């Protein structure tokens, strides 16, 4: 995940989406790190005063994204549904988004909220490990 900070202001009410992307590094001349896909599991929006859950077990709880929606994954890129930029109750002008995800050894393209994806969609031996974005 690139974890780049957005430095420009995003107006409250603007339509936006979150994009998670894994960038692979070559391990050796003919091999790669073995990552074939990612599945988003949990996401949070926070500032210095509060933390809200926006995705749990791959599905939205309706706080930010429509209820029972998730990130759509294609290869090493996962995109959230569009949502309206918001401000937390504290009134802070800065929000940080953090997500947990699993990386897959085999392709795991899906919507993170689909029934198969909730069971994680692929056998555990096909996962490499989890990360924070």
pLDDT in tens, 85-123: 998 888 888 889 999 998 888 888 989 998 655 444 444
Determine, yes or no, domain membership for 9. Answer: no
Q: Write down the pLDDT at residue 110.
A: 86
pTM equals 0.76
Nearest of 36, 126, 118, 35 to residue 70 by alpha carbon: 118
Position 27 pLDDT exceeds 70 = no
Residue 41: inside a domain: yes
Q: How many domains does the chain have?
A: 1
- Average pLDDT over the chain reads 80
* Three-state DSSP state, 100: strand
In a domain, 4, yes or no: no
pLDDT at position 4 is: 63
Q: Which domain holds residue 102?
A: 16-21+32-132
Does 58 have pLDDT greater than 90? yes
pLDDT for residue 83 is more than 90 = yes
Whether 1 maps to a domain, the answer reads: no
């Amino acid at each position: 995940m690139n974890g780049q900070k957005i430095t420009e202001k995003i107006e409250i009410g603007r339509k936006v989406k979150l994009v998670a992307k894994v960038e692979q590094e070559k391990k050796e001349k003919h091999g790669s790190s073995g990552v074939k896909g990612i599945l988003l599991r949990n996401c949070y929006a926070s500032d210095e005063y509060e933390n809200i859950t926006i995705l749990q077990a791959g599905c939205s709880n309706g706080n930010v994204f429509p209820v029972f929606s998730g990130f759509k994954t294609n290869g090493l890129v996962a995109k959230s549904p569009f949502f309206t930029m918001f401000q937390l109750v504290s009134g802070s002008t800065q929000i940080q988004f953090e997500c947990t995800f699993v990386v897959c050894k085999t392709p795991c393209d899906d919507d993170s909220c689909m029934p198969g994806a909730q069971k994680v969609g692929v056998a555990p031996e096909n996962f490499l490990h989890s990360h924070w974005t």
